[in-house]
Amino acid sequence: MDERRRDFLETLLNTPSPSGFETDGQRVWVDYVETFADEVRTDAYGNAVAVHEGSGEGPEIAVAGHADEIGFIVRDILDDGFLRIASVGGADRTVSKGQHVTIHADEPVQGVIGQTAIHLRETSNDEYEDVSAQFVDVGAADDEAARDLVEIGDPVTVSTTIRELAGDRLAARGMDNRVGTWCAAEALRRAVAADVDTTVYAVSTVQEEVGLQGAKMVGYDLDPDAFLAVDVTHATDTPDVSAKRRGPVELGEGPVVTRGSANHPVLVELARSAATDEADVDVQLQAAGTRTGTDADAFYTSRSGIPSVTVSIPNRYMHTPVEVVDTTDLDDVAALLAAVADRASAYDDFHVSL
């Protein structure tokens, strides 16, 4: 990954973007893709679409990651100046207490999610409180002082920074799914450089973590011939994952192509062959018997049905402040997506044969 691409990735990761409050992160993405896309547009809720206009001889495909991250929201301001919070998306109650947080008010406000000292609690009765029972301390003496700083409805994110681990591995909050939007943008850049015949839409959707809402909007609006969802998936190559939940996905072993449910068999085969024959990257396979849990679940039932597939980035510790990815996987996913865009021009449609 060169310096320009690395700077883009780090800026995305450092820009808070909780569901429903994605504007700042989307601005970063739009500013980047505007340098090479033929057109960039946004909709009323902030979904962003960048376009490479193909020759007109090929199909139209959309490649999308979601811009939003999990977080919290200020639910109440108590008389003593503490804040009650609620989850935004699937926030993990087991890792939130004792964390530094930022409340994104008119001006950022720093706080901590309180955790009673181990000396003052009965550890034999320890249990994980629901997020709704946890509180944020911003240092305010009372509710009047707190209201001078924040309002009910302000979003809250954990205040972590990017950390470089050994090799090509990075740790940060919000890898889910800023790495997917990075891959979508990079795939578009490569498609533009190759001047592929396929018309390619790179998309950064909003509100995936709260029900795939942005994808529902974009799927109806674009109506492409095919859709590739780029998201993270669980790397289960750590000692804490039980045998019954351990799967075939490992960090640093390449893109993950999902089979089953929403994943259209023609697109699965296209992704696998493009990876092997053009991108020269190894592919890991994953099964989805019911649903993918990605934007593909919204796209494939949009309008009369849009052939869809999920291409994923292995990710450790999902929905925690210390998600870990391998940057070689990001480059390989981008290469695979660009190869799919190139090879897709040979397809008149993506229908299954009956």
Q: Is 164 annotated as a binding residue?
A: no
Active site residue 208: yes
DSSP string, 181-248: HHHHHHHHHHHHHHT-SSEEEEEEES--TTTSHHHHHHHHHH--SEEEEEEEEE---STTS-TTT--S
Q: Which of 60, 69, 186, 208 is catalytic?
A: 208
- Chain centroid offset of residue 339 CA: 21
**What's the token pair of residue 214?**
């942005």
Do the annotations mark residue 154 as ligand-binding?
Answer: no
- Distance of alpha carbon 150 from alpha carbon 101, whole angstroms: 13
Cis geometry, peptide bond prior to residue 177 (ω within 30 degrees of 0): yes
Say if residue 176 carries a ligand binding annotation.
yes
The reply to whether 209 sits in an annotated binding site is: yes
Q: What angle do CA 200, 201, 206 make, to 5 degrees?
A: 160
Structure tokens at 283: 């592919």
Q: Whats the size of the chain, residue-wise?
A: 354
Contact (Cβ atoms closer than 8 angstroms) between residue 319 and residue 172: no
Helix/strand/coil for 42: strand
Query: Using an 8 Å Cβ cutoff, are 80 and 228 in contact?
Result: no
Flag whether 31 is marked binding.
Answer: no
Packing angle, helices 327-343 and 265-274, rounded to 10: 110
Binding residues, as ranges, are 66, 176, 209, 231, 319
Binding residues for Zn(2+), as ranges, are 66, 176, 209, 231, 319
Q: Which residues are catalytic?
A: 208
